[in-house]
Chains A and B, each alone.
Chain A
Amino acid sequence: MNETTGGATHQKAANTNGATPALEVRSVSKYFGSVNALEDVSLAVYAGQVTCVLGDNGAGKSTLIKILSGVHSPDKGEVLCDGETVNFAGPRDARARGIATVFQDLATVPLMSVWRNFFLGNEPTRGWGPLQRMDVKGAQKIMREEMSKMGIDVRDPDQTVGTLSGGERQAMAIARAVYFGAKVLILDEPTSALGVRQSGIVLKYVIQARSMGRAVIFITHNPHHAYPVGDRFVLLKRGRMLGSYSKAETTLEQLTSLMAGGAELEELSHELQRAADPELKEVAKELAADAATEAQTPA
């Protein structure tokens, strides 16, 4: 497949005036026993830009996120934060450097209230020594403000996260990450479980985070969500990079067909057409039509 790294590097420099990426991985590989989860993957994300990581299930997206967020360290290659090579000691270390990850399961505790979840791990305190306590009122107030910026009115301060809808939980998680000064936001499949309207809200917030100067890594398997908000696109397939494009270098159709494995569908269709069985020919025609439609129709 096309390896556009050379041209892309030139493009990167042009886009960002030689700025260093907020977060970058170079040729990282990760193995679990005999499984190559990732092989020679590189990506970079800059402040004020969105890098989308596209790939189907099993592509290695979750392993990549775990490396970016400090849960795993790569077996080969390096991770750079603001241009310096780093070796995260764990997720807390990554977080301390301003890398916030919003996991697919949201890293929220459904039984706890929204404000407790919002400030989990970053509890605001008052007082000192044995009398140090959480600033409950302050926390509740800030949580309400931040959530209302997302368009969510949390009426009952002790409302549990379990009572929020999927989109609201995503919004809370993103608002939390942004509030706590994340410089890099890694969003793991934020729209995958959401309906159209809720996805729209999330995408709007992604754009907002970008316009506030954050670097966003947006992981998804839906190119129709990725394309509108992305500045760069990295495609993963079975742990390897299929390609890395800037927005100018690609179209939604191309991304979609790469994602849907359009090439494979076409091959299969050709094979079936060569078969004698008329039924199989019908199937082959349908497959070919599908491959074409995938590449053409918008969301």
Chain B
Amino acid sequence: MSATSPPIATPPAAADERLVQISRLTRTLRRPELGSLLAALFVFIMFAIFDSSSNHLWLKQTGIAAWTQQAAFFGIVAVPVGLLMIGGEFDLSAGVMTGVTAIVMALLVGKWHVNTWIAILITLAFATAIGLINGYIVVLTKLPSFIVTLATFFVLRGASTGGVLLLNSGSTQITVTQAHPPGLSSAKSIFGSSFFSSGSLPSGYSTAILWFIGVTIVGTWVLSRTTFGNWIFASGGDQNAARNTGVPVNRTKVLLFVGTALAAALVGIISFTQASSAVSEQGVGYEFFYIIAAVVGGCLLTGGYGSAIGAALGACIIGMAFEGVIYAGWDSSWDFAFLGVILFLAVVVNTLIYRRALKARR
């Protein structure tokens, strides 16, 4: 682009090579996922040590299948919630959305006898609508997303509970009672079944795990390799700077809200096809765990920094905590104390990494 350059020479090539070697290691140490990776390894090893089962099941397929399934239900939504956090916003309605979508599926398939695949499309459309509503209210009113999505959370929660009771003659669980609802078995095999069943693990690994891995790969790729990912970092890091540079901040945020809602819908679909039923108030209480997973994974609460893999690792830690205490034979109330300590440590490590990332190098 410029025809002439000012009289400054580019650095010599030899020195370059040496610097590149060092910086690769230090680069790895500065990644936002580091804190959560260390925490995850620590937690895994700790539960391996304290495993009180007679056959050391924690390290075997049984244990791995247990915590990965728990992790998947947290992680499928935690990754988009993490992306949204990097983009500078929160979604507190993501938890209740997993339940509402399961209820919608149960009503469509169980009560109104709609083909399961059509029900899935309707559910995804519904989730997209909720995501758009959340997103547009946030960007147009400029109210804090914490408040806006808290309101959505209450509306959805009330509607789901009231709606279920109304439509289900007072029972809070909607079950599919027909023998062969159309499309359910094929949908179940894609969303709600298991794989790698064997003699030592008859129930196999939950299909949800594959979806979790898929969502993590897509989330990581979008965040670190695409233009949209660049816009996510910018929208969360400095909205005004992003706008001035021509980044469509509003569109980015709205799409992120649609992302969290669709991920929640995926969990709802998986949950419904697994159990052929849905319960009112399902999902309520999970919204904070998604945020915890993202924060443990290195996502800054104030936005602009973080990683999708980190959020996935955070979800794995939560999954390991809930299952590990049972394998260790501890009272399961220790779960929360445990998660609290992990959260605190992960935030400390992540803050140190973040400060190093910003420190001047001169």
Whether the pair A120, B247 counts as a contact (CB closer than 8 A) is yes
Stretch among A12-20, A132-140, A261-269, A276-284 lining the B interface: A132-140
Contact partners of A121 in chain B: CB under 8 A: 245-247
Is B111 part of the contact surface with A, judged by Cβ < 8 Å? no
Is B129 part of the contact surface with A, judged by Cβ < 8 Å? no
10 closest cross-chain pairs (CB), A and B = A109-B237, A121-B246, A162-B358, A151-B8, A123-B227, A111-B304, A107-B244, A121-B245, A92-B246, A107-B241
Is A232 part of the contact surface with B, judged by Cβ < 8 Å? no
Whether the pair A107, B245 counts as a contact (CB closer than 8 A) is yes
Whether the pair B358, A208 counts as a contact (CB closer than 8 A) is no
B residues in contact (CB < 8 Å) with A = 1-6, 8, 10-11, 19, 23, 26-27, 30, 221, 225-227, 229-230, 233-234, 237-238, 240-247, 300, 304-305, 357-362
Contact partners of A163 in chain B: CB under 8 A: 357-361
Contact partners of B226 in chain A: CB under 8 A: 132-134
Stretch among A79-87, A153-161, A223-231, A233-241 lining the B interface: A153-161
Whether the pair B237, A91 counts as a contact (CB closer than 8 A) is no
Whether the pair A158, B27 counts as a contact (CB closer than 8 A) is yes
Known contacts A109-B242, A120-B245; is-contact A160 B233 (Cβ 8 Å) = no
Is A149 part of the contact surface with B, judged by Cβ < 8 Å? yes
Contact partners of B229 in chain A: CB under 8 A: 134
Which of B225, B238, B242 is within 8 Å of A110, CB to CB? B238
Whether the pair B2, A208 counts as a contact (CB closer than 8 A) is yes
Whether the pair A149, B6 counts as a contact (CB closer than 8 A) is yes
A181 to B244, CA, bound (A): 17
Is A148 part of the contact surface with B, judged by Cβ < 8 Å? yes
Known: A149-B6, A162-B358. 16 other contacts (CB 8 A): A103-B244, A107-B240, A109-B233, A110-B238, A120-B234, A120-B245, A134-B227, A134-B229, A136-B225, A146-B1, A148-B8, A148-B11, A158-B30, A162-B360, A163-B359, A212-B2
Contact partners of A95 in chain B: CB under 8 A: 246
Output the nearest chain A residue to B247 by Cβ-Cβ distance: A121
Whether the pair B230, A123 counts as a contact (CB closer than 8 A) is yes
Whether the pair B6, A91 counts as a contact (CB closer than 8 A) is no
Whether the pair A109, B241 counts as a contact (CB closer than 8 A) is yes
In A158-176, which residues have CB < 8 Å from any B CB?
158-160, 162-165
Whether the pair B360, A91 counts as a contact (CB closer than 8 A) is no
Tally A residues with Cβ within 8 Å of B. 49
Query: When A and B form their complex, what is the total count of cross-chain residue pairs whose Cβ atoms lie within 8 Å?
Result: 117
A residues in contact (CB < 8 Å) with B = 71, 91-92, 95, 101, 103, 105-112, 116, 119-123, 125, 132-134, 136, 145-146, 148-151, 153, 155-156, 158-160, 162-165, 178-179, 181, 204-205, 208, 211-212
B10 vs chain A, min Cβ distance (A) = 5
Output the nearest chain B residue to A205 by Cβ-Cβ distance: B6
Whether the pair A109, B227 counts as a contact (CB closer than 8 A) is no
A146 to B26, CA, bound (A): 24
Known contacts A153-B11, A208-B6, A212-B2; is-contact A116 B233 (Cβ 8 Å) = yes
A238 vs chain B, min Cβ distance (A) = 26
A143 vs chain B, min Cβ distance (A) = 13
Contact partners of A158 in chain B: CB under 8 A: 27, 30
Contact partners of A109 in chain B: CB under 8 A: 233-234, 237-238, 241-242, 304
Of A112, A116, A162, A211, most buried by chain B (CB within 10 Å of CB) is A112
Contact partners of B247 in chain A: CB under 8 A: 120-121
A205 to B244, CA, bound (A): 22
Contact partners of B300 in chain A: CB under 8 A: 111
Contact partners of A165 in chain B: CB under 8 A: 360, 362
Whether the pair A162, B245 counts as a contact (CB closer than 8 A) is no
Whether the pair B244, A111 counts as a contact (CB closer than 8 A) is no
Which of B1, B230, B237, B359 is within 8 Å of A111, CB to CB? B237
A160 to B27, CA, bound (A): 12
Contact partners of B234 in chain A: CB under 8 A: 109, 112, 116, 120
Output the nearest chain B residue to A213 by Cβ-Cβ distance: B3
Contact partners of B237 in chain A: CB under 8 A: 109-112
A66 to B7, CA, bound (A): 34
B236 vs chain A, min Cβ distance (A) = 8
Whether the pair A159, B225 counts as a contact (CB closer than 8 A) is no
Contact partners of B304 in chain A: CB under 8 A: 109, 111-112
Whether the pair A181, B1 counts as a contact (CB closer than 8 A) is yes
Output the nearest chain A residue to B303 by Cβ-Cβ distance: A111
Whether the pair A120, B358 counts as a contact (CB closer than 8 A) is no
A242 vs chain B, min Cβ distance (A) = 28
Whether the pair A162, B357 counts as a contact (CB closer than 8 A) is yes
A58 to B247, CA, bound (A): 29
Output the nearest chain A residue to B305 by Cβ-Cβ distance: A111
A228 vs chain B, min Cβ distance (A) = 16
Which of A110, A119, A159 is within 8 Å of B361, CB to CB? A159
Of A95, A110, A111, most buried by chain B (CB within 10 Å of CB) is A111
A116 to B231, CA, bound (A): 10
Output the nearest chain A residue to B20 by Cβ-Cβ distance: A155
A159 to B27, CA, bound (A): 9
Contact partners of A132 in chain B: CB under 8 A: 226-227
Contact partners of A120 in chain B: CB under 8 A: 230, 234, 242, 245, 247
Output the nearest chain A residue to B357 by Cβ-Cβ distance: A160
Contact partners of A179 in chain B: CB under 8 A: 1
Of B225, B230, B240, B243, most buried by chain A (CB within 10 Å of CB) is B230
